[in-house]
Chain A
Amino acid sequence: MDPISLIGAFSVLAAGLCISIGGISAGFGEGNAAASALQAIAQQPDEAGTITRTLFVSMAMVESTAIYSFVITILILYFNPFWETAVAMASK
């Protein structure tokens, strides 16, 4: 395999791995947070407002890792610096 197709293939593989691992981990974390919050609301329905607000904030915190991996995936797929360098070198 020539270097360009190697770079292309591994970029796609890396993008897939990046979003899948990032998504799975954040999904587990958010699921845990939501489950605990539901339990808490079931035990103390009066505090539902406070619990929901805290849940949103913590979910946003947890989700940020998934968003990071999404941004990295977009970078790899559409703005890949290695690919562009390889293409520029090959066309020289």
Chain B
Amino acid sequence: MAENFDQTIFFSLWTFSVNSTLFFTWLVMGLLVLFAWISTRRLSSDFVVSKFQTVVELLVMIVRGQIYEVSQDNPKKYMSLVGTMFLFIFTCNILTFIPWFDPPTGSLSTTAAFAFCIFVGVPVYSIRNAGFKKYIRKFVKPVPFMLPLNIVSDFSSVFSLAVRLYGNIFSGVMIGMVLMTMVPFIIPVSMQLLGLLTGAIQAYIFSLLAVVYLSAVGPEEQYVPAPDPLY
């Protein structure tokens, strides 16, 4: 049976029924907020830093470096949106090894919401980067004849962003469930291990493509990173 995470009702608050997607989204959000709170509680610029701070600094540095290499632009602009999405998707996909955890990314509603954020973000970032005129000119870029194709490609790229993440995670869950009914020992574990790898790569790909779409219309002047280890 195809599992639909949006229809598994966990409990209801007043007249509002909380389905499993919503519940686990809140759970992951809570985990991330807790982690952020613990890690930033005692920040220091000393030589001796706490373990949590080291982890977070490493994470921030890696994400910023990747964003800079893809967009050739100031990573600070994209960090707050794309970095948050990466953390959330990555945590969701990694936590699938917990048996009763339904990953929120395996539901089309979550991924569609993320992709919608990117869809709204593309014009916002483009206009902020290069101005309204440049953004409009993007649609008639090679020849004006391409206008409908460019508009369709804007929609389809966002659509594929949502469906790709959903399809990958959902298919991983489905394969695990189908194998569980046929060969309940050992073999489902190997497929779920593969699912962890796919989940990590998909989180990376989602944020990478988000940066690519958001920074498609870049600013005029070349961004030169400051000689700071954190860019």
Contacts and interface: CB of A to CB of B under 8 A. Distances in A.
Interface of A: 50, 53, 56-57, 60, 63-64, 67-68, 70-71, 74, 77-79
18 contacts: A50-B69, A53-B66, A53-B208, A56-B201, A57-B208, A60-B164, A63-B164, A64-B160, A67-B163, A67-B164, A67-B171, A68-B160, A68-B167, A70-B167, A71-B166, A74-B2, A77-B2, A78-B2
Interface of B: 1-2, 66, 69-70, 160, 163-164, 166-168, 170-171, 174, 201, 204-205, 208-209, 212
Nearest to A68: B163
Contacts of A70: 167, 171
A57 B210 CA distance: 11
- Chain B, interface SS category: helix
A28 B174 CA distance: 24
- Chain A, interface SS category: helix
Given A64-B160, A64-B164, A68-B163, A57 B2 contact: no
A91 to B, nearest CB: 21
A71 B2 contact: no
6 A-B pairs with least C-beta separation? A67-B167, A78-B2, A60-B205, A64-B160, A64-B164, A67-B164
